Amino acid sequence: MFEGIQHLDAPVLQKLLRRTVLMTLVVGGIAIIVSLAFAPPLSAVGILLGLGLAILNLRFLDAGVAKVESTGEGSGKVVRRMLRTKTAWRLALITVMVVVLLVVYAPLGVGMVVGLVIFQALFVANAARLIFSQGGLS
């Protein structure tokens, strides 16, 4: 669906990522306040963990791409495979953390899932808005 994102310029992508992180912080802050009012307190900690891990994962991905672009490492296939592998390992680690927290203390794990979902929903919404505004998805 989002094939148009690969044709966007680097400054546009940086703006997309910055907007997503800022919106995540605002919406996440609201979610934490709501969680503190209506759910066990550790669910707010879980939301904070989920938001933090999502933003950290994005930063690692951004740094990896920037490193590859600046050094001009290897062929495109090798670079994509390397980035895919590192990203897959980070996502696997995050998934294991969520499952463990869901088993150990469900409100903390559910809060973490909520934080991750908030980030992903905002990223997809911002990317879609940007692509449609640029006339993408022809």
CA distances from 29 to 18, 24, 35, 108 (A): 17, 8, 10, 16
What's the confidence (pLDDT) of residue 108?
95
Per-residue pLDDT at 1: 44
Distance from C-alpha of 71 to C-alpha of 106, rounded to nearest angstrom: 44
pLDDT digits (tens, 9 = 90+) for 104-126: 999 999 999 999 999 999 999 99
Place of tokens 């899932």: 113
Q: Pull the structure tokens for residue 34.
A: 């709501």
- Asked if pLDDT for residue 5 goes beyond 60, the answer is no
Cα gap 34→39, rounded to integer Å: 8
What is the C-alpha end-to-end distance of the chain, expressed in Å? 11
Non-local (6+) Cβ contacts of 104 within 8 A are none
Q: Three-state DSSP class for 9?
A: coil
pLDDT of residue 62: 79
Both structure tokens of 120: 């992903």
- pLDDT, tens digit (0-9, with 9 covering 90-100), for 39-89: 999 999 999 999 999 999 988 887 777 776 666 555 667 767 777 888 899
| pTM of the complete model | 0.82
pLDDT tens-digit profile of 10-44? 677 788 889 999 999 999 999 999 999 999 999 99
Q: Is 133 exposed, middle or buried (0-12, 13-18, 19+ CB in 10 A)?
A: exposed
Mean pLDDT calculated for residue range 125-132:
87
* Mean pLDDT value across residues 131-138: 69
Query: What's the alpha-carbon Rg for the chain, to the nearest Å?
Result: 17
